Amino acid sequence: MYNIVTLQEIRKRRNVNVTAVAYVESDLNSCSMPSSSIRSLCGMSYTSPTIMVKRLDKAMTLIANSFSTLQVTLGSTCSSAVKQILCTGAYPRCSSDSTVATYGSIASGCSGLSSCPANTISLNGQTGTQICTLSGRQISLTSCGRYSMNSLNSFQCGTLPSNITFPTWLIPELPGQNAAITNLRNTLSRAGIGTSCTNRWVRISCRNVPFCSSDSKKLLGVISRQECEAAINCLPNNVQAALKLLYECSIFPDQNAQTYAVPPNQGYTNHASSVVISLSISGFL
């Protein structure tokens, strides 16, 4: 006789064996100081949300270390505008109790943006014009909410877990992920990057947005430093060199860091997730 495993049984086994784990990126309301070179460029003496400081450190440090060259290239009016927009738009000031953060006024920098060449500013997927809309805005560092869409990019990423929540300040930025993820795949394809390597990068991009823990106290992530390094190492050497100027895998936890179990409907599936499906068809007895 045949021992046939039905589709219903496959689905049942799949649901039972899925396990999602996550790393703690920071407390939800954690605030910290950027590096000394960034503080020097921006004239900063205040703290900003830790996740922003960590994720932008590499790019902003590069800008800080090369700003004298940018001044010569862009001219005084444009370079002053760029500095104000980037410094103020990247680092809102945390309140003393770390419950809110407030963006300073970017008005003068934004008025000088017209003196710059088109597309001079691109930071974390945002243009200078988009960053200017943050001027004076206050964001909550203690609240989480659901994204109104069910996917960051339905074609590339699939459906988000049904109960995943994000910091409320981050939700308005999520619609931009759709185009960013599509553009990433197209850019890598045009550069002749192989399918396997391209898929690594798309997979990271689909899971790169930090999400809230069930108790809304922690910011969680599922990408490890090793997964990031593997994605960089699959690229051609010249692309690796350029990317390493802007991208730092050390912002992600080590794969051996402490992990936390996350209900499958509240967090991304990651490399540690397992789906066990066994099919067996035996011959005649």
Helix (H, G, I), strand (E, B) or coil at 212: strand
Strands 126-127 and 138-140: unpaired
Strands 93-94 and 48-49: unpaired
Joined tokens for residue 72: 């010569």
The answer to whether residues 102 and 136 touch, using CB atoms and an 8 Å cutoff, is yes
- Give the per-residue pLDDT at 238: 87
- Give the per-residue pLDDT at 272: 35
The answer to whether residues 210 and 25 touch, using CB atoms and an 8 Å cutoff, is yes
Burial (CB < 10 A; 0-12, 13-18, 19+), residue 196, is exposed
pLDDT per 10-residue tile (average), the chain, 285 residues: 41 46 94 96 96 92 91 92 93 97 93 88 81 94 96 93 95 90 92 94 94 94 94 92 82 90 82 31 28
Give the integer Cα–Cα distance in Å for 250 and 228: 9
